[in-house]
């Protein structure tokens, strides 16, 4: 299976989660296998980077609601095959975007200041959202990276590009740079 990597998520203790779009089917997929270490990031010599084309080798679907996108793979068999040009990457992501988070399913509910589904519920766990407003990404008082989704909802931000090299702490300078770049897109709609 060949994918274009669209998501690189910081997990606990220097581990990551990867997601992308299967080039053969156009479906969203999340390659899973125990814990994936940060050594699999391209910056650390591995195959995974946002926009990268990665051949995962043979995969087997193992998803269940809401993580219906999960496919079992063998990390040692992954091969980096280059990058999708930025304009094509943008169009690919845009073609998969939804107007809001309702694509996750009717079970999505507000829980405190966040959103969740009950275990085993939901139509999917990966969604691109096309927003008409400029998102606000910030580091809160607890040194957690958050996204102000509006309506008194703050969502966790786990993009590895916004953390230090060891994936332990949010990188304030990178967050500030992202917010500046987002502000420069004012008036353009983006996924």
Give the start-end residues of each E strand in the chain: 2-10, 15-22, 28-32, 36-37, 52-55, 60-61, 70-72, 79-83, 97-98, 109-111, 114-116, 128-129, 136-139, 145-150, 153-156
Of 89, 117, 136, the last residue of a domain is: 89
Reported as a single tens digit per residue, the pLDDT across 67-80 is 999 999 999 999 99
Q: Residue 130 half-sphere exposure, CB side, CA atoms within 13 Å? A: 14
The token pair that represents 1 in the structure block: 């299976």
- Total tally of structural domains belonging to the chain: 2
Choose the weakest-confidence range: 56-65, 73-82, 126-135, 160-169.
126-135
Tell me the residue range of the domain where 65 lies: 2-89
Reported as a single tens digit per residue, the pLDDT across 1-10 is 999 999 999 9
Question: Which carries the bigger pLDDT value, residue 123 or residue 83?
Answer: 83
Reported as a single tens digit per residue, the pLDDT across 130-147 is 877 788 899 999 999 999
| Residue 191 belongs to some domain of the structure | no
Residue 29 and residue 56 share a domain: yes
> Residue 187 above 70 pLDDT?
no
Q: What is the biggest distance separating any 2 CA atoms in the chain, rounded to whole angstroms?
A: 44
Reported as a single tens digit per residue, the pLDDT across 99-122 is 888 888 888 888 888 888 888 888
Residue 84 and residue 59 share a domain: yes
> Residue 186 above 70 pLDDT?
no
The token pair that represents 74 in the structure block: 């063998």
| Residue 189 belongs to some domain of the structure | no
108-114 long-range contacts (CB < 8 A, ≥24 apart) are 110/153, 113/152, 113/153, 113/154, 114/153, 114/154, 114/155, 114/156
Length of the chain, please? 191
- Indicate left, alpha or beta for 82 from its phi (over 0: left) and psi (-120 to 50: alpha): left
Distance CA 186, CA 181 (A): 9
Residue 113 and residue 80 share a domain: no
Distance CA 52, CA 133 (A): 27
Residue 130 and residue 77 share a domain: no
DSSP state of 35: P
């Amino acid at each position: 299976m060949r994918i274009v990597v669209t998501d690189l998520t910081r997990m606990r203790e220097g581990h990551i989660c990867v997601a992308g779009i299967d080039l053969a089917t156009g479906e969203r997929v999340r390659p899973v296998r125990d814990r994936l270490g940060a050594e699999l990031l391209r910056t650390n010599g591995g195959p995974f980077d946002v926009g990268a084309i990665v051949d995962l080798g043979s995969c087997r679907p193992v998803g269940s609601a809401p993580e219906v996108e999960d496919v079992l793979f063998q990390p040692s068999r992954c091969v980096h095959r280059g990058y999708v040009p930025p304009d094509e990457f943008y169009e690919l992501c845009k073609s998969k975007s939804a107007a809001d988070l309702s694509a996750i399913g009717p079970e999505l509910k507000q829980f405190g200041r966040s959103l969740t589904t009950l275990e085993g519920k939901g139509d999917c766990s990966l969604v691109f959202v096309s927003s008409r407003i400029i998102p606000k990404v910030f580091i809160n008082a607890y040194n957690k990276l958050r996204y102000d989704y509006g309506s008194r909802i703050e969502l966790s931000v786990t993009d590895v590009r916004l953390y230090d090299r060891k994936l332990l702490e949010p990188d304030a300078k990178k967050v500030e740079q992202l917010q500046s770049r987002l502000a420069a897109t004012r008036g353009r709609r983006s996924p």
